[in-house]
């Protein structure tokens, strides 16, 4: 157990639907990162939050949004889902975003999203 908790582990939904993925960071970590992993794209950075504020944004689609709450958990919302959104979605956390220290990120076990 890495200490980063992601729920649900698996999600199957239909095209056009909306889903919410949840992440609880490791205790003491203030920064949360969301990544998408598909077979052809590898790990792609989506968005980062630090202590409740958006810190960096990657190639995140307008249909996707995220937020970090006061208790530091984060949610990634995916709407108007398309078949191509099927992927593994990972959350990671770190203490200090600027340097990542000697241990980089700590990743959760991911949410596997299947859009049918």
Partner 1 sequence: EDQVTQSPEALRLQEGESSSLNCSYTVSGLRGLFWYRQDPGKGPEFLFTLYSAGEEKEKERLKATLTKKESFLHITAPKPEDSATYLCAVLPRYNQGGKLIFGQGTELSVKP
Site residues (vs partner 1, CB under 8 A): 2, 4, 31, 33, 42-43, 45, 48, 50, 55-56, 58, 88, 90, 92, 94, 96-110, 112
- Closest distance of CB 21 from partner 1, Å: 13
Residue 13 vs 55, nearer CB to partner 1: 55
> What single DSSP character describes residue 71?
T
Helix, strand, or coil (residue 84): helix
Contact of 110 with 88, CB cutoff 8 Å: yes
- Closest distance of CB 87 from partner 1, Å: 13
Contact of 14 with 86, CB cutoff 8 Å: no
C-alpha–C-alpha distance, residues 10 and 48, integer Å: 22
Residue 16 vs 96, nearer CB to partner 1: 96
- Closest distance of CB 4 from partner 1, Å: 8
- Closest distance of CB 66 from partner 1, Å: 14
Residue 50 vs 64, nearer CB to partner 1: 50
Residue 13 vs 109, nearer CB to partner 1: 109
Q: Which residues contact 88 (CB under 8 A, 6 or more apart)?
A: 36, 37, 38, 110, 111, 112, 113
């Amino acid at each position: 157990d890495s200490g980063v908790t992601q729920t649900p582990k698996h999600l199957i939904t239909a095209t056009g639907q909306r889903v919410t993925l949840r992440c609880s960071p490791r205790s003491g970590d203030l920064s949360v990162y969301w990544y998408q992993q598909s077979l052809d794209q590898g790990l792609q950075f989506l968005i980062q939050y630090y202590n409740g504020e958006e810190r960096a944004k990657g190639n995140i689609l307008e249909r996707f949004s995220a937020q970090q709450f006061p208790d530091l958990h984060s949610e990634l919302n995916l709407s108007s889902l398309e078949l191509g959104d099927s992927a593994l979605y990972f959350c990671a956390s770190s203490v200090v975003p600027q340097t990542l220290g000697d241990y980089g990120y700590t990743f959760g076990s991911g949410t596997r999203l299947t859009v049918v």
